[in-house]
């Protein structure tokens, strides 16, 4: 692996420390032990490696690592004192039957993990009930059994003339098919001597499985996510409900909303899930928690009219659903029971929650706090259990800023500052979040402001319209008006923040990735004080991106047909509004399908022709976001150098 040690300096040292920390995603209780799902950086591995880590309590109240499984994820605790997990590890039993890819394995304390199920390709996902499991696996499209799938695959490998017919306008590699395979569902019984069975599910020709799975605790009823591909590039999401013993009688549940992420209730009568209103131009999406009867007979709102886009995560008991929902810069945990909603007070933002008896295990973080695990009692009291990345906790402070627009609306930002009051006003980095239906709520391993704060910058993190956690009105305000309204409000937030006495209003940069990359460029056309723009996978030409990307369906919902609706042209950026004294850094993953790399090339050529000081970094081994630590380090060094050269001295902005 390439050297990931940044150049010298406080920010580089902190970045190196960040890149070495365990990244905790979820926590589970196994008796008195803890089982963590995490990612670790490993030598000679270009990407963070998923791990399952088992910890045992020590006499002094701490934790000792008892076991670790590399290449492992997706833990499910089972009643017999062990847990199931997905693994990238290969054993002789797989080699004997020509199986590769991810497998389903079982861990029992004191024993080597055992193989539960493998296929010629990957086990994509699974859901577990009592003594039964369903798994989504890649299959040859014509396979009617697991044995036939193996035969078809071997035949395809032996025939050099084999080609892959892509359904509709999907990418060759996507969540719905890969290398000619499609997703199927296998029933795996953990009873001795039982035979794994490929379930004969009948789907319409325009429908595929998504890989989402939920299984009732009794192992009898399954929910599987569906996607329907509609003419013109539109999509719609639903659920397939069926008794595992009667897959031929499966019922496809389609509502007016997209129905996703189902979680099985403990009594086997309801699933909980998220319903997202299918947006259209002039009407934005809205997410709500819903209950779906396991026989498909009813879909009801769990918390009608709640403003915070509640999304179910787990059932606390047969009557109580635990949801998360963002509100004003934090992601809260909510209890929903019989239509009543109450917030559980936990510091920071909730990333994951699991239930073990009367205890909740919560992974929480904050913009200034790396993920840690809390134990939460039903009474509401909580205590920290383990904080694997505590050494990465930064030295700094945060302020909450509010900008009130002339129409009375209020828009919030986080301002990250050094721990001590600065001797002189600080240069400012304005960070624009991606999404766009996101907000600044969590610790980030990629867009982490603290290495830059350590190097003497203030980082401003605004939540403009389209940010979640500020009510439906914030979504509707920005829907279809990215430049005319979202960017305009963001620019006003920046101007108001620059009145802060700790900030130098003449040393300002704007940065972001994806939608944030677009917004950083947009701010450079509106805020003369900006002297540096850093846009990763951003864009200026809405029509070019919408026409070619794999998120075409989302663009259709927000702006309408690409070739006829004027919004694409009206909201696109005019890069000639960026002043000649502004430096622009453009970076892009060469394998990006959300924003094709041609847009970065086009912007570079436009700006370079005008004589703008512009640089282009193309990452040939990355997709939409930068994942590899070596690339993160290279990007940080590149941006840090640009900040030093453009924001060192304070000067009035050049006229445009």
Give dist(CA 292, CA 290) in Å, integer. 7
Q: What would the mean pLDDT of 501-505 be, rounded to a whole number?
A: 97
Structure tokens at 547: 């026409």
Between CA 531 and CA 580 the distance in angstroms is 10
Question: For residue 550, what is the DSSP state?
Answer: T
pLDDT category of residue 237 using cuts at 50, 70 and 90: very high
Structural class in CATH, domain 305-388: mainly beta
pLDDT digits 0-9 by tens, 291-311: 999 999 999 999 998 999 999
pLDDT digits (tens, 9 = 90+) for 127-169: 999 878 999 999 888 888 888 888 877 776 666 555 555 666 6
156 near 140, Cβ under 8 Å? yes
DSSP assignment of 13-52, as one string? HHHHHHHTS-EEEEEEEETTEEEEEEEE--TT-SSPEEEE
Q: Are 19 and 637 in contact (CB under 8 A)?
A: no
Integer Cα distance of 390 and 588 in angstroms: 31
Q: Where are the domains of the chain?
A: 119-301, 305-388, 400-646
The residue-averaged pLDDT of 352-360 equals 94
Which residues lie below 8 Å from residue 573, measured CB to CB, with a gap of 6+? 483, 518, 521, 522, 525, 540, 541
pLDDT of residue 496: 97
Mean pLDDT across 78-102 = 84
> CA 593 to CA 544: how far, in whole Å?
13
pLDDT > 90 in the chain, percent:
80
CA distance linking residue 497 with residue 425, whole number of Å:
13
Q: Which residues contact 204 (CB under 8 A, 6 or more apart)?
A: 228, 252
pTM given for the model: 0.94
9-13, 193-197, 466-470: segment of lowest average pLDDT:
193-197
Q: pLDDT at position 191, please?
A: 73
Among 3.40.50.1820, 3.30.470.10, 3.40.50.620, 2.60.40.10, what is the CATH number of 400-646?
3.40.50.1820
Res. 71 pLDDT band, cuts 50 70 90: very high
Q: Which of the four pLDDT bands, split at 50, 70 and 90, describes residue 3? A: very low
Instruction: Count the alpha carbons within 13 Å of 198 in the hemisphere toward its beta carbon.
Output: 21
Residue 592 has pLDDT above 70, yes or no: yes
| Band of residue 176 on the pLDDT scale cut at 50, 70, 90 | confident
Assigned fold of 119-301: Lipocalin (2.40.128)
Q: Which residues contact 368 (CB under 8 A, 6 or more apart)?
A: 393, 394, 396, 397, 398, 416, 443, 450
- Mean pLDDT of the chain, nearest integer: 92
Inter-helix orientation angle 488-497/515-526, to 10°? 70
Question: CA 457 → CA 433, 507, 510, distances in Å?
Answer: 18, 10, 12
Quick one: tokens of 24?
């905790």
pLDDT of residue 258: 98
Residue 594, both tokens: 């959300």
Fill in the DSSP letter of residue 592: -
Same fold, 119-301 and 305-388: no
> Residue 218: what pLDDT?
93
Question: How high is the pLDDT of residue 154?
Answer: 73
In this predicted structure, what is the pLDDT of residue 653? 60
The average pLDDT across 170-198 equals 79
- The CA-based angle 476-480-482, given to 5 degrees, is 100
């Amino acid at each position: 692996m390439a050297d990931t040690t940044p150049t010298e300096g406080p920010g580089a040292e902190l970045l190196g420390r960040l890149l070495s920390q365990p990244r905790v995603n979820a926590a589970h209780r196994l008796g008195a032990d803890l089982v963590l799902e995490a990612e670790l950086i490993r030598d000679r591995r270009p990407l963070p490696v998923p791990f399952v880590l088992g910890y045992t309590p020590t006499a002094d109240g701490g934790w000792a690592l008892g076991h670790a499984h590399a290449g492992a994820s997706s833990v499910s605790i089972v009643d017999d004192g062990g847990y199931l997990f997905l693994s990238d590890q290969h054993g002789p039993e797989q080699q004997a039957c020509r199986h590769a890819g991810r497998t389903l394995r079982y861990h029992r304390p004191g024993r080597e993990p055992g193989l539960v199920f493998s296929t010629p390709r990957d086990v994509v996902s699974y859901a577990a009930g009592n003594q039964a499991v369903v798994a989504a696996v890649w299959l040859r499209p014509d396979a009617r059994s697991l044995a036939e799938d193996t035969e078809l695959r071997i035949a395809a490998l032996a025939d050099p003339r084999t080609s892959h017919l892509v359904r509709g306008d999907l990418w060759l590699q996507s969540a719905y098919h890969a290398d000619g395979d499609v997703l199927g569902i296998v029933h795996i019984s953990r009873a001795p001597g039982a035979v794994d069975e490929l379930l004969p599910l009948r789907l319409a020709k325009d429908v595929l499985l998504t890989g989402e799975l939920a299984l009732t605790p009794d192992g009898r009823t399954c929910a599987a996510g569906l996607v329907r591909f509609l003419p013109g590039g539109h999509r719609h999401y639903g659920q397939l409900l069926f008794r595992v013993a009667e897959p031929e009688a499966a019922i496809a549940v389609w509502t007016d909303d997209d129905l996703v992420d189902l979680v099985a209730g403990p009594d086997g009568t309801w699933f909980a899930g998220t319903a997202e209103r299918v947006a259209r131009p002039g009407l934005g999406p809205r997410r709500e928690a819903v209950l779906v009867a396991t026989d498909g007979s009813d879909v009801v709102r769990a918390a009608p009219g709640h403003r915070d886009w509640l999304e179910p995560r787990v059932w606390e008991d047969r009557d109580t659903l635990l949801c998360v929902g963002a509100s004003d810069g934090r992601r809260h945990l909510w209890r929903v029971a019989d239509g009543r909603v109450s917030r559980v007070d936990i510091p920071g933002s909730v990333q994951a929650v699991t239930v073990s008896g009367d205890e909740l295990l919560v992974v929480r973080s904050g913009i200034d706090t790396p993920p840690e695990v809390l134990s939460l009692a039903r009474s509401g009291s909580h205590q920290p259990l383990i904080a694997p990345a505590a050494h990465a906790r930064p030295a700094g402070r945060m302020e909450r800023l509010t900008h009130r627009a002339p129409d009375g609306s209020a828009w919030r930002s986080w301002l990250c500052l050094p721990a001590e009051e600065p001797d002189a006003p600080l240069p400012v980095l304005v960070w624009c979040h991606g999404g766009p239906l996101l907000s600044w709520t969590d610790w980030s391993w990629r867009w982490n402001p603290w290495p830059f704060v350590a190097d003497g910058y203030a980082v401003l993190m605004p939540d403009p319209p389209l940010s979640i956690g500020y009510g439906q009105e914030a979504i509707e305000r920005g829907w279809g008006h990215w430049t005319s309204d979202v960017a305009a409000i963001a620019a006003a937030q920046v101007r108001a923040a620059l009145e802060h006495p700790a900030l130098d209003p003449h040393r300002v940069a704007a940065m972001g990735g994806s939608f944030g990359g677009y917004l950083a460029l947009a701010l450079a056309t509106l805020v003369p004080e900006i002297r540096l723009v850093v846009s990763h996978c951003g864009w200026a030409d809405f029509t070019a991106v919408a026409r070619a990307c794999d998120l075409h369906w989302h663009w259709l919902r927000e702006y309408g047909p690409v070739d006829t609706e004027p919004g694409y042209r009206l909201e696109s950026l005019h890069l000639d509004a960026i002043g000649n004294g502004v430096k622009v850094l453009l970076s892009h993953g060469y394998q990006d399908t959300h924003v094709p790399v041609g847009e970065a090339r086009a912007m570079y050529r436009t700006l370079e022709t005008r004589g703008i000081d512009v640089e282009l970094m193309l990452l040939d081994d990355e997709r939409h976001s930068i994942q590899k630590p070596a690339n993160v380090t290279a990007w940080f060094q590149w941006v840090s150098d640009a900040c030093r050269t453009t924001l060192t001295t304070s000067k009035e902005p050049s006229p445009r």
